[in-house]
Amino acid sequence: MLNLTLLLQAPAADYTQFLFPVAIAAVVYFFMIRPQQKRSADTKKFRQALAKGARVVTIGGLHGLVIELTEETVVVEVDRGVKLRFDRSAIAREVGTKAPAETIA
């Protein structure tokens, strides 16, 4: 005799086996990959928008004032007369407000 309960349950088991990995992939994408891509894009925009007079912190924790910019590098004054050149990628964030124009000269 043919067991109908086994025939009816088989397609449901295949469907759930397919649905679980898809659900896991969606969770990984929306909670891990997508936020990282957004942070990366925001960081890239920030580094492109750097301007003279911005008070910044490098990835090493050095605080300073941006006094010169090129396409690849940023010159940061960390103390009077002490100027250091960094790659733009070494600038982590901007702190405080922009410095007055007379201090940049």
Average pLDDT for consecutive 10-residue bins of the chain (105 residues)?
A: 55 75 93 95 93 95 95 95 95 80 55
- pTM of the predicted protein model: 0.66
Distances 82 to 18, 33, 61, 85 between C-alpha atoms, Å: 61, 40, 16, 10
Pairing of strands 55-58, 91-94: antiparallel
pLDDT at 103: 55
pLDDT at 7: 53
Q: Which helix (H) or strand (E) segment is 103 a member of?
A: helix 101-104
CA–CA distance, 98 with 101 (Å, rounded to integer): 9
